């Protein structure tokens, strides 16, 4: 049996109980060791496969942005030729949005970059919604260099646009704040849209509530993963009044 283990023929190893004496104890330890070795080899093989897949994803991620930028540049040129400044601006903002959001594959960026990213996204949406979408920024400049998880604000702004507008004539106001609060940094996304039932959400609402869509719950998970469980997202909402999303991150 030991020779089979040496040859990594784990599927042929079948060590039956040999009693309670020294040989029996040795056989029992050998059986457990064989199971552990087999498990570790499986884990290593899986990690190698995951690594290869990750390398392929990185390669794909490097190819896609170049294709995207070149395509957007072509569309922008066509818009200029056809004297369509709105289309040209929309395409330019979209290119800038993706250039910042891709961030060379990094998961963090500065709050300054996150704000710029959000402004490009809002600018694109304002082509569609015009004066119905009004976004105001109240940003403490001292927090701008601090790191934040990439795409923290945009999913919540997107949620405001997609779900909170209830009057096609009045539209919606969104206030984005960023300021220091003790040793931490607080960011808020406040809207005067339709709001939700439930008041204060310690846990983010499940999909199907007003606060839903790609990346919403993921923001809280990514913040906790990067900064710790004491940081993350909380939501306060009142039906007919609006919603306030509060994001807390460390102030370093």
For position 167, what pLDDT does the model report?
A: 79
> Does residue 35 share a domain with residue 154?
no
Assess whether 120 and 73 both reside in one domain: no
- Clarify whether residues 135 and 74 are in a common domain: no
pLDDT at 65: 66
The whole-number pLDDT of residue 231 equals 94
Domain that holds residue 50: 1-81
Question: Among 81, 105, 121, where does a domain finish?
Answer: 81
Q: Are residues 93 and 115 in the same domain?
A: yes
> Cα separation of 96 and 113, whole Å?
11
Provide the pLDDT for residue 207: 44
pLDDT at 209: 46
Task: For residues 54 and 91, state if they share a domain.
Answer: no
CA-wise closest residue to 105 among 166, 55, 146, 140: 55
Order of all β-strands in the sheet with 133-139: 133-139, 172-181, 184-191, 242-250, 232-238, 199-201
Looking at the structure, tell me whether residues 108 and 40 fall in a common domain: no
Together in a domain, 234 and 149: yes
pLDDT for residue 213: 44
Instruction: Note down pLDDT in tens along the chain; length 252 residues.
Output: 788 877 877 777 777 777 788 888 888 888 888 888 888 888 888 888 877 776 666 555 555 666 677 778 888 888 888 888 888 888 888 888 888 877 666 778 999 999 999 999 999 888 888 889 999 999 999 999 999 988 899 989 988 888 888 878 889 999 999 999 999 999 999 999 888 876 655 445 544 444 554 466 788 888 988 888 899 999 888 888 899 999 999 987
Q: What secondary structure, in 3-state letters, does the chain show?
A: CHHHHHCCCHHHCCCCCCCCCHHHHHHHHHHHHHHHHHHHHHHHHHHHHHHHHHHHHHHHHHHHHHHHHHHHHHHHHHHHHCCCHHHHHHHHHHHHHHHHHHHHHCCEEEHHHHHHHHHHHHHHHHHHHHHHEEEEEEECHHHCCCEEECCCCHHHHHHHHHHHCCCCCCCEEEEEEEEEECCEEEEEEEECCCCCCCEEECCCCCECECCCCCCHHHHHHHHHHHHCCCCEEEEEEECCCEEEEEEEEECC
pLDDT of residue 208: 43
Find the CATH number of the domain harbouring 179. 3.30.565.10
Pair (216, 110) in one structural domain: yes
Let me know whether 156 and 227 are in one domain: yes
Q: Are 173 and 242 found together in one domain? A: yes
Residue 146 CB neighbours (<10 A) = 17
**Residues in Cβ contact with 86 at an 8 Å cutoff, skipping those fewer than 6 apart:** 127
User: Considering its fold, how many domains does the chain have in total?
Assistant: 2
């Amino acid at each position: 049996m030991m020779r089979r283990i040496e040859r990594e023929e784990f599927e042929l190893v079948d060590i039956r109980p040999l009693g309670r004496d020294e040989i029996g104890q040795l056989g029992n330890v050998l059986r457990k060791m064989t199971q552990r070795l087999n498990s570790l080899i499986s884990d290593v093989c899986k990690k190698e496969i995951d690594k290869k897949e990750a390398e392929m994803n990185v390669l794909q991620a490097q190819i896609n942005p170049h294709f995207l930028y070149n395509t957007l540049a072509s569309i922008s040129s066509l818009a200029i030729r056809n004297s369509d400044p709105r289309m040209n601006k929309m395409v330019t903002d979209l290119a800038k949005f993706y250039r910042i959001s891709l961030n060379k594959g990094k998961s963090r960026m500065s709050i300054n970059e996150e704000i710029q990213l959000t402004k490009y996204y809002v600018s694109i949406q304002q082509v569609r919604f015009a004066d119905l979408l009004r976004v105001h920024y109240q940003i403490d400049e001292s927090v701008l260099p601090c790191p934040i998880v990439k795409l923290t604000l945009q999913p919540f702004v997107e949620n405001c646009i997609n779900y909170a507008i209830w009057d096609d004539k009045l539209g919606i106001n969104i206030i984005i704040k960023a300021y220091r609060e003790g040793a931490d940094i607080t960011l808020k996304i406040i809207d005067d849209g339709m709001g939700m039932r439930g008041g204060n959400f310690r846990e983010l609402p499940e999909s199907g509530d007003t606060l839903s869509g790609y990346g919403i719950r993921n923001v809280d998970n990514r913040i906790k993963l990067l900064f710790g469980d004491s940081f993350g997202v909380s939501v306060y909402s009142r039906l007919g009044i609006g919603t306030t999303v509060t994001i807390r991150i460390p102030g370093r």
